[in-house]
Amino acid sequence: MLSTHRLSSPAFLMSPPTTEECKLSRDYLKLILGHTIMSCIYGTDVAVERALRVSLCAWSAITESARPESFYELIRSMFPPLSNLSAYQGSGVPSGAIPLFLPAGTLEAPVYHASDLYLSAFYIVDVFASDHTRFIPSPLFIPYQPRSSLRCRDILEWVNPIPLWFFGEGGILGVPIKGANGIKLVHGLEDSIGEPITTLKIKFGWPNYKPDEKQIRGSTKLPLNNLSRLASLTANAVCEYMSSKTKKVKLNNSVPQRWAIGTGAGEISSADVVLLGVVFVSTRAVMPLLAVRDEFIFATDTI
């Protein structure tokens, strides 16, 4: 269920999609994913590339006899227009979630089960953003860039491309980073099968601050493969980062910065931040998906 690695590399696809199919698929996904959480945080290009890599995993897992005629047709069937999402409400699909109805074991991520007998098990590849102003944007960490583009590409081919979302048992996305230990997550108590993950780096690209990282640790008996444990320790790492005296500001002037960290009026404190999930950026590193609480008032909104 939870792994740092994808199940297969696109380099090993028996029948890889054509260049034209990939272009058509990218253009289509840009229309579908332009207003999702991944797009709000990392930009549409990143959201599209991640979704495309998830789709390549699915393509490689489907037998050739069961595949659609083209990769582009698979993309269109897997990612219907967002206007169709309302049809899944009441069937076990969380509000706003973009489900991929694929057999369990296709992807290395939590498998959700629909209550509608006509729908199969599904994964969640992204979530529609109802208010794009509350998601904390970040550049995506890219390993070994710009030092070695070849090694970077080799690593990214094996990195798990699908985000791990933290849904509460009531279907609400996200946990407050203060008090995350008491939150019950969907699939939170399940341990994945596979190599135990005992350490992970948490990478930060907070707006107007220099890149930083923290490390979280599990053990062979209590690995990070457990979703609740991962959420709790990641939330603690975000709190630690926000309270750190060593984080460095890129811009330091008298103009209020929208994402300034602090405890003053309009500044963002750990009590204001919600952890939505994580996305793998290397085989042993993740970045947190973060937003501010709905009631938060930005400093830039008061001037």
125 and 205 fall within a common domain:
no
Beta strands, E only, 78-231: 97-101, 122-127, 164-165, 175-176, 199-204, 212-217
Query: For residue 236, is it within any domain?
Result: yes
| Length of the chain as a residue count | 303
- Average pLDDT, whole number, for the chain? 84
**Tokens 């501010």 sit at which residue?**
292
> Distance between CA atoms of 57 and 235, rounded to whole angstroms?
29
Give per-residue pLDDT as tens, 114-132.
776 556 788 999 999 988 8
Please indicate, yes or no, whether residues 67 and 143 belong to a single structural domain of this protein.
Answer: no
Are residues 80 and 184 located together in one domain of the fold? no
Task: For the chain, state the CA radius of gyration.
Answer: 19
Residue 58 within a domain: yes
- The CB density around residue 199, as the number of other CB atoms within 10 Å, is 13
Answer yes or no: is 4 within a domain: no
Answer yes or no: do 181 and 259 share one domain.
Answer: yes
Helix (H, G, I), strand (E, B) or coil at 25: helix
Are 74 and 122 in a shared domain? yes
Percent above pLDDT 90 for the chain: 44
| Same domain (yes/no): 40, 69 | yes
Dump pLDDT digits (tens) for 243-261. 998 888 876 665 668 899 9
Q: What is the DSSP letter of 18?
A: P
Q: Is residue 1 part of a domain?
A: no
Q: Same domain, yes or no, for 146 and 36?
A: no
Q: Rounded to two decimals, what is the model's pTM?
A: 0.90
- Is 60 exceeded by the pLDDT of residue 11? no
Q: Is the pLDDT of residue 285 over 90?
A: yes
Structure tokens, 298: 């930005």
Task: Look up the domain containing 255 and give its range.
Answer: 139-301
Highest-scoring range by mean pLDDT, 156-160, 172-176, 245-249: 172-176
pLDDT reading at 302 higher than 60:
no
For residues 1 and 123, is the Cβ–Cβ distance under 8 A?
no
Last residue of one domain, picked from the residues 132, 153, 173:
132
- pLDDT over 70 (residue 296): yes
Q: Which residue has the higher pLDDT, 152 or 222?
A: 222
Pair (143, 98) in one structural domain: no
Among 148-152, 225-229, 235-239, the range of highest mean pLDDT: 235-239
Give the distance, in angstroms, between the CA of residue 75 and the centroid of all CA atoms in the same chain. Answer: 19
> Same domain, yes or no, for 105 and 47?
yes
Looking at the structure, tell me whether residues 143 and 245 fall in a common domain: yes
- The residue among 80, 99, 132 that closes a domain is 132
Query: Domain check: are 169 and 275 in the same one?
Result: yes
Judged against a pLDDT cut of 50, whether residue 12 lies above it is answered with: no
Q: Which of 132, 166, 182 is the last residue of a domain?
A: 132
Task: Kindly state whether residue 64 falls inside one of the protein's structural domains.
Answer: yes
User: Residue 2: inside a domain, yes or no?
Assistant: no
Which two structure tokens, joined as six digits, stand for 232? 């709790």
221 is a domain residue: yes
Which of 53-57, 93-97, 137-141, 176-180 is predicted least confidently?
176-180
pLDDT at 1 over 70: no
Q: Report pLDDT digits (tens) over 72-124.
A: 999 998 898 877 777 777 777 888 899 988 888 888 888 888 776 556 788 99
Indicate the number of domains in the chain: 2
What is the amino acid identity at position 254? S
112 lies in the same domain as 200: no
Asked if omega into 211 is within 30° of 0 (cis), the reply is no
Task: Classify residue 5: in a domain, yes or no.
Answer: no
Compute the distance between CA of residue 229 and CA of residue 233 in angstroms, rounded to an integer: 6
